[in-house]
Every structure is written in structure tokens, then in C-alpha cells.
């Protein structure tokens, strides 16, 4: 057997593709007659940060710049320095544009305006809102949040956005709605990753109503005092800082209220590795690596991971009585 020695944070492939997907992908590529070189390229994991130093971060291309920077909400503080903007802007997970971290150039192909968001399912009135209409109905604020990827890297960023609870209020869900499901656009002409048919596109995610209305659940429209750049998931993404980063779905164009627990993208891809709850817990390892510590983007410093990514005070109560559930994967 060929064993590659890796440092603990050097995980072979992102969010991080489970073995069964590797196998399916190999079968697909074999059927398509593609060679081993392409397979090796497609499966390449983390791109060393040093190789990306001095990259310029592309900026956003939406016409709402006058809303930024927004007032900072001082309630959300950090225990670490903010990640340098260029570093965070050039090291992204956005599988729609590739299964590696250097998708920021490819992501600029997204057409961010007009952008509509469909709000449907168990709501008093289904509707389609333009992102600018939505922005006109909410108060934007800036929050400093930690972000912990399931791959064991972490960053700290100043998101601008509004509470997901405000969107829930605007949507007027019916009494029986227990969950909120989020969906990303589907456009394989623009997003080449979506031509990879072994993934269950479009990317979807879901949370319970208790999670959606928790004060920390944040719909993000900007970062670093500017409108969100495409690679961060413009024009609308989620930030759920107590959960692994894959729950923070990017480029949302549909929000559905439902009485069923949604199956998320990664859960569908690898149910033995990624679950519905995905709350950060250093004591529950991923089946293929430890979650005890995390590598900070920019410095490569290794720091201990904290339960709920350090947000236990705000969110632990949500999970009381759910101890039998797989809350931490
Ligand atoms: N959303 C979509 N639509 N597609 C993705 O591939 N990746 C997730 C999440 N949201 C992903 C997504 C993962 S695994 C992480 S860690 C974060 O986005 C990364 O966010 P960042 O690139 O802004 O750091």
C-alpha cells in the first residue's frame, strides 16, 4: 500500500471528498476515457498557501457598494487576528468552480446581477425577491466571526449581513414549518464543477427553525467592508459559525420552509462522513482525521479547536434533549 505522510492538517481532498466519491469519479473518468493525469489533477487537495502569496483579491461586481462598510456589531468579538483579506479571498471552497482552493478567478464568471431569491414551501405567500429588494428591507451590520472548515483549516473574517431570523420573519413561515432548506444556483455553463455529474447539484443545505432563528445565524452579503466577492458566495451566503463550514452555503437563490429535515449536499455525497448537524466538536474526529486542532489561514499556526467553535454560550441550548443525535459530524 502506498502511504503518503502528511501533517495533520494536510487533508487529501476538500470537504473532503469521501472515498466512495473518489471511486465513482474514477469510474466516471474511466468510462469517459480520461487518463490518470487528469484524475490526479482533479483529486489534488489543499493548495499550499505559500504558492498563493501576493495574489490580488478580485472585488465584488454588484451595484450596492454604498451599503458598505456597515456598522460593526461589537457583540461579536474574536480570540484571534482577522485573516488577511487576500489570503481569505484566494483560498476558497466552492465546488461549483472546482474541487480545489484556487477557484477565485473562475468564480468571477458568475453573473451576480440581476439575482433573484425564491422563498417558498410552507410560507404564507411564496415569492421571488430581487437581492436589491431584500437588501432594502433589512439592516446590514458587520460581525467578526470565526469560520472552521471540516478539513481542519480556519479563518476569522468580518462578514457584513443580517440575521437569518430577519429573513424568517419576512418569509412568514406557517406553523408546521420545522426546517429551512437553502439552495445554490445551477448553471453548468458558468460553473464548470456542476458538469461533474457524480455530485448531487445544486448544492443544498438545511437547518432547523431553532438554528435558523438563533442570533448567530447570519445571511452574508459583504465581507471586509465591501460587497461579497464571487468566490465567497456572492451575492448571498450563510454563516453558521458554530458549525463546520460546509453548512455555510454560498450563492443562495432559493430558501424553502419545510416540515422535513433536508438532506444536504455533503450528506448526500458521503453520509458516513457528513451529517445534518455538523456542529464543531474537537472530541469527535472525522472518520479520516482528527478535529482536535485547526490550522489558521495565513499563519499556518495550529490552535486547539473549541466545542461549537467557541460559540457554546449562544447555541448549546438548542441541542438539549437531542443527545441521541449525531450532532457533531
Ligand atoms: N457553498 C457552495 N454552494 N458550494 C461549496 O462548495 N463549500 C462550503 C461552504 N459553502 C461550498 C459552499 C465549504 S466546505 C466551506 S469550508 C465554505 O463554504 C468555505 O467558505 P469560504 O470559501 O468563503 O472560506
* CATH number for 50: 3.90.420.10
Within 10 angstroms of residue 269's Cβ, the number of other Cβ atoms is 20
Look at residue 5 and tell me if it is in a domain: no
- Is the C-beta atom of 11 inside 6 A of ligand 1? no
Q: What is the pLDDT along the chain (329 residues), one digit of tens a residue?
A: 233 334 333 343 445 556 555 445 444 334 333 333 222 222 322 222 233 334 454 544 444 679 999 999 999 999 999 999 999 999 999 999 999 999 999 999 999 999 999 999 999 999 999 999 999 999 999 999 999 999 999 999 999 999 999 999 999 999 999 999 999 999 999 999 999 999 999 999 999 999 999 999 999 999 999 999 999 999 999 999 999 999 999 999 999 999 999 999 999 999 999 999 999 999 999 999 999 999 999 999 999 999 999 999 999 999 999 999 999 99
CA of 326 to the centre of ligand 1 (A): 22
Count of domains forming the chain: 1
Ligand 1 atom showing the smallest separation from residue 193 Cα: 6
Look at residue 6 and tell me if it is in a domain: no
Instruction: Tell which one of 16, 232, 236, 250 to mutate to probe ligand 1, the residue whose CB is within 8 A of the most ligand atoms.
Output: 250
The closest of 210, 217, 221 to 250, measured between CA atoms, is 221
Ligand 1 atom showing the smallest separation from residue 155 Cα: 24
Contacts for 236 with CB less than 8 Å, ≥ 6 apart: 115, 117, 131, 134, 219, 220, 221, 228, 251, 252
- Is the C-beta atom of 251 inside 6 A of ligand 1? yes
Instruction: Specify the DSSP element, H or E, that contains 180.
Output: strand 179-184
Ligand 1 atom showing the smallest separation from residue 251 Cα: 3
Cell numbers describing residue 46: 489543499
| Cα distance between residue 233 and residue 184, in whole Å | 9
Within 10 angstroms of residue 146's Cβ, the number of other Cβ atoms is 23
Domain of residue 179, residue span: 13-319
CA of 248 to the centre of ligand 1 (A): 6
Look at residue 72 and tell me if it is in a domain: yes
For β-strands 204-208 and 179-184, DSSP reports them as antiparallel
The closest of 268, 236, 232, 264 to 252, measured between CA atoms, is 236
Look at residue 4 and tell me if it is in a domain: no
Instruction: Tell which one of 83, 86, 94 to mutate to probe ligand 1, the residue whose CB is within 8 A of the most ligand atoms.
Output: 94
Instruction: Tell which one of 152, 245, 297 to mutate to probe ligand 1, the residue whose CB is within 8 A of the most ligand atoms.
Output: 245
| Cα distance between residue 183 and residue 117, in whole Å | 10
With contact defined as beta carbons under 8 Å apart, do 112 and 234 qualify?
yes
Ligand 1 atom showing the smallest separation from residue 88 Cα: 24
Ligand 1 atom showing the smallest separation from residue 94 Cα: 6
Look at residue 329 and tell me if it is in a domain: no
Nearest CA to ligand 1 atom 2: 250
Look at residue 28 and tell me if it is in a domain: yes
Amino acid at each position: 500500500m502506498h502511504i503518503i505522510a502528511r501533517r495533520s492538517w494536510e487533508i487529501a481532498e476538500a470537504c473532503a471528498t469521501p472515498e466512495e466519491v473518489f471511486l465513482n469519479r474514477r469510474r466516471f473518468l474511466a468510462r469517459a476515457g480520461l487518463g490518470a493525469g487528469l484524475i490526479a489533477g482533479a483529486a489534488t487537495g489543499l493548495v499550499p498557501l505559500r504558492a498563493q502569496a501576493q495574489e490580488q483579491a478580485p472585488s465584488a461586481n454588484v451595484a450596492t457598494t454604498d451599503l458598505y462598510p456597515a456598522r460593526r456589531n461589537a457583540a461579536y468579538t474574536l480570540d484571534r487576528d482577522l485573516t488577511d483579506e487576500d489570503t481569505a479571498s484566494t483560498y476558497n471552497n466552492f465546488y461549483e468552480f472546482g474541487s480545489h482552493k484556487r477557484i477565485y478567478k473562475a468564480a468571477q464568471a458568475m453573473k451576480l446581477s440581476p439575482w433573484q431569491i425564491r422563498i417558498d414551501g410552507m410560507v404564507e405567500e411564496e415569492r421571488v425577491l430581487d437581492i436589491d429588494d431584500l437588501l432594502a428591507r433589512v439592516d446590514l451590520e458587520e460581525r467578526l466571526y470565526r469560520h472552521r472548515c471540516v478539513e481542519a483549516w480556519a479563518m476569522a473574517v468580518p462578514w457584513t449581513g443580517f440575521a437569518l431570523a430577519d429573513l424568517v420573519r419576512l418569509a412568514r413561515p406557517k406553523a408546521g414549518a420545522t426546517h429551512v432548506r437553502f439552495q445554490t444556483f445551477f448553471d453548468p455553463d458558468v460553473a464548470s464543477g456542476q458538469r461533474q455529474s457524480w455530485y448531487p447539484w445544486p448544492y443544498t443545505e438545511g437547518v432547523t427553525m431553532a438554528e435558523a432563528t438563533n442570533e448567530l445565524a447570519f445571511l452574508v452579503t459583504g465581507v471586509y467592508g465591501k460587497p461579497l466577492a464571487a468566490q465567497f458566495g456572492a451575492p448571498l451566503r450563510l454563516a453558521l459559525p458554530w458549525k463546520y463550514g460546509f453548512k455555510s452555503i454560498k450563492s443562495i437563490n432559493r430558501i424553502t420552509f419545510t416540515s422535513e429535515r433536508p438532506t444536504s449536499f455533503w450528506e448526500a455525497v458521503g453520509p458516513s462522513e457528513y451529517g445534518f448537524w455538523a456542529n464543531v466538536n474537537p472530541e469527535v474526529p472525522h472518520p479520516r482525521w482528527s478535529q482536535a486542532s485547526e490550522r489558521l489561514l495565513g499563519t499556518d499556526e495550529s490552535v486547539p479547536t473549541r466545542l461549537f467553535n467557541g460559540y457554546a454560550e449562544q447555541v448549546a441550548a438548542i441541542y438539549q434533549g437531542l443527545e441521541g443525535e449525531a450532532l457533531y459530524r
